[in-house]
Structure 1
Amino acid sequence: MSTRTDQLTLNVNLQAFGQRPSAWQFGDDAADALITPGHWIASAQAAERGLLDAVFFADQPVLHNPNPRPGSQLEPIALAAFITAVTEHIGVIASASSTYNDPVELAERLLGTDVVSGGRLGWNIVTTYNSRVSGNFGGGETPARAARYRRAGEFVEAVRAVWGAAAGDGRFRFDGEDVRVNGRTALGPSAQGAPVLFQAGGSEQGRELAARHAEGVFSVELTLPRAIENYAALKRRASALGRSRGLPRITPGLSLVIGSTVEEARRRFDEFESRVPDGYALGSLSNVLAHDAATLELDAPIPAEILDKPWDPDEHPTSAGYRLTFLDWIQERRLLSVREILRDFGGYGSRIIVGTPEQIADDMELWFHSGAADGFNLMIDRFPEGLVTFADEVVPLLQGKGIHKREYGHSTLRHTLGVAAFRAD
């Protein structure tokens, strides 16, 4: 075990009614629950009850079929401003795309929200590979991965220039190949200087962006050896760029279904899965395989030629980092049938634990002390009750292990995360 003296960074991804696709079918939520305050207040306050560092909001600014899995209709930065108004300590991390936003407008919108929140905002930098989003912004085809990340790097530099100007004389200028800005801002710095920068993306370009700019990373890791390797590589890359020791904080996604016994947790998992529309898991598996999983024999293993075939990330825009770790994960299960794989695949993009509070706490401790993670981005089966269970039953165990705080000691997200004050250079 390591001799770490820091503590876990714990965020929770507030995925509408929950991480399980059928979560909306449980409970007595009103049809308009996702656009009314009560649902979000209950979930955010449950997270604060567990002394979590932040709640996180993803974003897909495009219409989709809500039947298999409803998503939030609310814009993340607007939701962040609301959440910080009804909580006292917890941070809020909002996703916003560098592909389709204007850097000056977004910089001021983020900083303005951070100011009124008292310094509790984070920005999750995404490049948006969903081809359907482009039309909503008057675009044609989605830019290729390399072009998106080239723009993202310059976009972040431009945003940081605006934030630096807010702490100085108000004047900003950045001249890049794709992004050029020149002007003045009337805003001043927030209580933490500027929002904390997060990044979610495991491609080579995504890791370079994270190493250069991110203070926190949402990663996808399914196996401990690959997680340890990727953790060390990203820390080395950031250090080589002159970043402060320990940055960025790396938090893999972790899906949880909690029961007082293993049997109870499995029954809960099975109940959620029994209401998922036919083909949902096959569709998710198809995305990561870059192959129509519906054509596979359910009672046979995934053929080696499918797992080993060349893969073009621009042709198949699924997260490159997720595909790499999935292939490691599947190697450990090569002899399992597709039907069995689909059951284990229940994290839908993240590692999943279906078990007791003790099993979950022990697993989190193992990854933390093994040098695989600085914490986790939690995916809870159903909100708010699953998050209340985590706060009441898992958090005390983590505190007993000395790896989770017993109180909020600071008022800003940067202080809570142990991240240095913002600097424009």
Structure 2
Amino acid sequence: MTAPLKQAHFNVFLFGVGHHRAAWRQPHSQVERLGDVSFYEALAQTAERGRLDGVFFADGHAAIELSDGPRWFLEPITLLSAMARATERVGLITTISSTFGTPFHTARQLASLDYISHGRVGWNLVTSMFDPEARNHGYDKMPPHAERYARAEEMIQVVEALWDSWDDGEPKMDRNGWYANAERVRAVQHHGRFFDTEGPLTVPRPPQGHPVLFQAGASEQGRELAARYAEAIYAVAWDIESAQHYYRDIKRRVSAAGRTVDVPIMPGLVTYVAATEAEARQQQQQLDDALPVASSLSQLEVFIEQDCSQWALDAPVPTLPPLEEFNGPKGRYATILRIIEDEQPTLRQLLGRLAAGGGHCTMVGTPEQIADRIEHWLDNDAADGFNLMPPTLPEGLDDFVDHVIPELQRRGRFRSDYQGTTLREHLGLERPTRR
């Protein structure tokens, strides 16, 4: 008997008017609508039309590089609450930082949104990374890497305990008796290294039990945290070889942690889709040509934590320190090292590679060509799906939903309709029992 074809998962990462740093400069861009909730509602409706698993927002806590285009505008929890009312099935995933957040506030926000959306919420946990963000939250600079991850682990444990502080079925709302049985609603009484929380939560146990926990672990500590707790994992991979290395390592760590669940791994994916490969490459080139060199160098300096303003644009990229000597965010830095090793680019060429999504896998071509590559990644231990990063919005998302998704459906690689109503069901995840 032939084994069933592996099915793909897709989230779409909504960022400004597209992930390419020149997207907002295009004459037809909708950059003026970034404060208009209907812009985002329409994007979520497109994702739902394509039967995608979810829409996803990253989040930042500092206004930096304002001259170079939009970064953060509307706050994600508030925005997703509105988007929940404009959609019925698509998942709603938000980033909340464990370095800047507290367990009670986080658990309450996410549980509330899970009720508002009828069980469609995911939490992308991050530890944050930049000192300007830290200075907006009472720190002089970011806490050390190990401390941030220790805080993140405690944060997960306390948030989940708060979600579990109510038994399923409470409150019973018996008009002739009790609103809730106090014996089935219990205090948490957590007193840890970073947090003190009494509980119980003010919101009953969420519809999904726990909103789905996403994480993007790249460093050693990040991978360990993801392997122990994450229910779906975002990844950065420039090519299939680096994707396979990460995929196999995480699957091994999940098993070593004693978990038997299938944790989907979803690398970022930038796509340029057109009727011919030449037209798709023309789309890419048009955006690359509008890329300001100065701001692109500034982005690279953030990623590698070096001043590269004096480097020659059309000469090979100077030798960078090995990964083990780099103290900044390791995932993106490892990707840059991989691009340099793989292509030996000039500095100008490297800036072009990083222009859309900062070094994630990029596929350029016809719907059939892109579907071929997606299938290759699915079938060769590189991905369980992808976190789509359209270079332009809404056009890039429209192109993928209208042309690539139907091709994948024809090949039996993606559902033709939702089989459930919750984000857990879309991802094939069980509802957790109360601990």
Give yes or no for TM over 0.5. Answer: yes
Please point out which of 221, 225, 228 is paired with 2:244.
228
Does the Cα contact within 8 Å between 1:119 and 1:194 map onto a contact in 2? no
Equivalent runs, 1:134-213 vs 2, <5 Å: 134-167=134-167, 168-213=184-229
Compared with structure 1, are the counterparts of its residues 87 and 196 closer, same or farther at alpha carbon in structure 2 (3 Å cutoff)? Answer: same
When normalised by structure 1's length, the TM-score is 0.93
When normalised by structure 2's length, the TM-score is 0.90
2:373 equivalent to 1:358:
no
2:349 equivalent to 1:340:
yes
- Corresponding residue number in structure 2 for 1:18: 18
Measure how far apart 1:206 and its partner are. 0.8
Compared with structure 1, are the counterparts of its residues 280 and 201 closer, same or farther at alpha carbon in structure 2 (3 Å cutoff)? Answer: farther
Measure how far apart 1:5 and its partner are. 4.6
- Corresponding residue number in structure 2 for 1:114: 114
Q: Secondary structure at the match of 2:68?
A: coil
Q: Secondary structure at the match of 1:255?
A: strand
Does the Cα contact within 8 Å between 1:161 and 1:173 map onto a contact in 2? no
- Corresponding residue number in structure 1 for 2:326: 312
Question: What code does the residue aligned with 1:210 have?
Answer: A
* Inter-partner Cα distance in structure 2 for 1:405 and 1:84: 22
Does the Cα contact within 8 Å between 2:163 and 2:206 map onto a contact in 1? no
Measure how far apart 1:307 and its partner are. 5.0
Range 17-26 or range 319-328, more displaced: 319-328
Measure how far apart 1:94 and its partner are. 0.1
Please point out which of 373, 376, 382 is paired with 1:372.
382
Q: Secondary structure at the match of 1:296?
A: coil
- Corresponding residue number in structure 2 for 1:295: 310
Compared with structure 1, are the counterparts of its residues 259 and 307 closer, same or farther at alpha carbon in structure 2 (3 Å cutoff)? Answer: farther
* Inter-partner Cα distance in structure 2 for 1:125 and 1:325: 21
Q: Secondary structure at the match of 2:213?
A: strand
Instruction: Mark the structure with the bigger radius of gyration.
Output: 2
Please point out which of 266, 275, 280 is paired with 1:260.
275
- Corresponding residue number in structure 2 for 1:391: 401
Compared with structure 1, are the counterparts of its residues 421 and 6 closer, same or farther at alpha carbon in structure 2 (3 Å cutoff)? Answer: farther
Question: What code does the residue aligned with 1:110 have?
Answer: L
- Corresponding residue number in structure 1 for 2:171: none
- Corresponding residue number in structure 2 for 1:321: 331
Q: Secondary structure at the match of 2:419?
A: coil
- Corresponding residue number in structure 1 for 2:71: 71
* Inter-partner Cα distance in structure 2 for 1:135 and 1:101: 14
Unpaired runs of 5+ in structure 1?
none
Question: What code does the residue aligned with 1:299 have?
Answer: D
Range 160-169 or range 101-110, more displaced: 160-169
Q: Secondary structure at the match of 1:63?
A: coil
Question: What code does the residue aligned with 2:270 have?
Answer: S
* Inter-partner Cα distance in structure 2 for 1:236 and 1:192: 27
- The count of residues paired between Structure 1 and Structure 2 equals 417
**Structure 1, residues 73-113: CA drift from partner, whole Å, max 9, x if none?**
11111111111110111001000000011111111111111
Equivalent runs, 1:100-111 vs 2, <5 Å: 100-111=100-111
- Corresponding residue number in structure 1 for 2:170: none
* Inter-partner Cα distance in structure 2 for 1:359 and 1:28: 27
Compared with structure 1, are the counterparts of its residues 6 and 180 closer, same or farther at alpha carbon in structure 2 (3 Å cutoff)? Answer: farther
* Inter-partner Cα distance in structure 2 for 1:119 and 1:349: 33
- Corresponding residue number in structure 2 for 1:271: 286
Does the Cα contact within 8 Å between 1:118 and 1:190 map onto a contact in 2? no
Compared with structure 1, are the counterparts of its residues 283 and 153 closer, same or farther at alpha carbon in structure 2 (3 Å cutoff)? Answer: same
Compared with structure 1, are the counterparts of its residues 185 and 287 closer, same or farther at alpha carbon in structure 2 (3 Å cutoff)? Answer: closer
* Inter-partner Cα distance in structure 2 for 1:289 and 1:154: 29
Does the Cα contact within 8 Å between 1:262 and 1:356 map onto a contact in 2? yes
Give percent identity, aligned residues only.
Answer: 36
Question: What code does the residue aligned with 1:54 have?
Answer: G
Does the Cα contact within 8 Å between 1:92 and 1:120 map onto a contact in 2? yes
Measure how far apart 1:27 and its partner are. 5.0
Question: What code does the residue aligned with 2:207 have?
Answer: A
**Structure 1, residues 319-363: CA drift from partner, whole Å, max 9, x if none?**
3122223323321212x3223333333332412222222221111
Compared with structure 1, are the counterparts of its residues 60 and 309 closer, same or farther at alpha carbon in structure 2 (3 Å cutoff)? Answer: closer
